[in-house]
Structure 1
Amino acid sequence: MPTRIYLVRHGATDLTTDDYFAGSSDVPLSDEGHRQVARLAERLRREKFAAVYASPLQRTMETAHTLALPHALAPIADPALREIDYGHWEGLPRALVETRFADEYARWQEDPFVVAPQGGESGVNVLNRLLPAVRAIVERHRQRTVLVVSHKGSNRLLISSLLGLDPRGYRERLEQSPAALNVIEFAPERHARLCLFNDVAHYAAAVAAAPPHA
């Protein structure tokens, strides 16, 4: 039996639709985000999780608590799962960043894997903390299923790295919708296979409880 990671992005926040840079900003889920996560919890209620891990930020912990409740599990906060820190762009709308920090933003757009905003993180920085954390989770829960709740950028970087994709294109080539579900299998533990990607079938009002990898 493979080790299976159910990798989830947190539900929507009030900054999600407004296109703000809110990587390290600690914001809660919006009402819509709570609805999205509740539907995902219903979808996953019959799964058997060995553990639930989450970024310590409020929006990810709220998501993790809702998803873990039907399984009588307490989410484990892991700082390595947190989102990219956007430095002095944090809390600003993208349109403002594009004009106020035009040169820096252009360099970041060209190569977000290496370039970081002043005071923030590059994609390389994120993977340096994220990959060892996920590897440790996989080793700790061999041949079990684990739920991991993280963020849009972190999830895209992780998936691109595990699949051997060019990490410089992670923003253009990979999407992560709010409360999206991804399923990654490790068999053996050092080789990853993506079984489900950016799935939001639970957005529908009626959700089947069948395993999403079926």
Structure 2
Amino acid sequence: MSVDIVYETHSLTEDNERGIATGRLPGRLSATGRRLAARLGERRRDDGLAAVFVSDLHRAVETARIAFAGTAVPVHRDPRLRECDYGELNGCPVAALEGRRSRHIDAPYPGGGQSYRQVVAATEDFLHDLAAGWSGRRVLLIAHSANKWALDCLLAGASLEDLVDAPFGWQEGWSYTLPRHFSRRGTAT
């Protein structure tokens, strides 16, 4: 059996509202973000979820905490679901990253950052474990834009080259099917 994945990005942050690319910094939800996180919970609480898996960065954890407060749905933090590390550009204006993301598909961001392929590899490792332990169940992932691109690459056949510099089309969740036998190469076996 496969794993039914629902994917949501963390809720709106103070940095998002100021046009800041938070990257690996913790970030905090804004007042609007906290309201949106509560609405996420209203949408997903009775969605048949076996568990929620969330990036361990504060903004994602805060989203899950608000959305699933008072429910029996278990929430699991996982560092493999972190946003791309922009290195010395963590916390820079979003405009400083626009148009240059494609330069970091394979080359890490300067100052100890990551490449987007490294994010795909971490997400792929997470998916391998998810396939092994959650077959036949429905789970929610709460993470970041780079993880959404990773899911699109690994489960929908998209290419990073087509995703990283395109506008991010936010919506209320995306659905993916993770094959039970998911190999580390991103294909069913």
Secondary structure at the aligned position of 2:141 is classed as: strand
Taking the aligned partners of 2:106 and 2:44, their CA distance within structure 1 comes to 36
| % identity of equivalent residues | 26
Q: Residue 16 of structure 2 corresponds to which residue in structure 1?
A: 16
Change (3 A) 1:161 1:16: same
The yes-or-no answer on 1:29 pairing with 2:22 is no
Change (3 A) 1:120 1:5: same
Change (3 A) 1:189 1:65: farther
**Where in structure 2 are there 5+ consecutive unaligned residues?**
none
The yes-or-no answer on 1:190 pairing with 2:188 is no
**Where in structure 1 are there 5+ consecutive unaligned residues?**
99-104, 193-214
The alpha carbon displacement at 1:188 in A equals: 4.9
Taking the aligned partners of 1:110 and 1:52, their CA distance within structure 2 comes to 30
The yes-or-no answer on 1:137 pairing with 2:137 is no
Taking the aligned partners of 1:115 and 1:168, their CA distance within structure 2 comes to 13
Q: Residue 105 of structure 2 corresponds to which residue in structure 1?
A: 113
Question: After superposition, where does 1:34-113 map in structure 2 within 5 Å?
Answer: 34-69=34-69, 71-95=71-95, 97=96, 108-113=100-105
Larger Rg: 1
The alpha carbon displacement at 1:115 in A equals: 2.6
Q: TM-score under structure 1 normalisation?
A: 0.76
Change (3 A) 1:37 1:142: same
- Report how many residues are paired: 183
C-alpha contact (below 8 Å) 2:131/2:181 kept by paired residues: yes
The alpha carbon displacement at 1:75 in A equals: 1.3
Secondary structure at the aligned position of 1:136 is classed as: helix
Q: TM-score under structure 2 normalisation?
A: 0.85
1:149-206 alpha-carbon deviations (Å, 9 max, x no partner): 11112212222232121212212346252x74111123454399xxxxxxxxxxxxxx
C-alpha contact (below 8 Å) 1:87/1:120 kept by paired residues: yes
Taking the aligned partners of 1:150 and 1:89, their CA distance within structure 2 comes to 19
Change (3 A) 1:176 1:78: farther
2:115 pairs with one of 111, 118, 122: 122
Change (3 A) 1:55 1:168: same
Q: Give the superposed CA RMSD.
A: 2.4
1:121-159 alpha-carbon deviations (Å, 9 max, x no partner): 101111121111122112211001111111112212222
1:157 pairs with one of 144, 150, 154: 150
Q: Residue 211 of structure 1 corresponds to which residue in structure 2?
A: none
Q: Residue 175 of structure 1 corresponds to which residue in structure 2?
A: 168
Taking the aligned partners of 1:127 and 1:116, their CA distance within structure 2 comes to 13
The alpha carbon displacement at 1:34 in A equals: 1.0
Taking the aligned partners of 1:57 and 1:3, their CA distance within structure 2 comes to 24
1:86-142 alpha-carbon deviations (Å, 9 max, x no partner): 0001112134x47xxxxxx86x44433113221211011111211111221122110
The alpha carbon displacement at 1:10 in A equals: 0.3
Change (3 A) 1:5 1:49: same
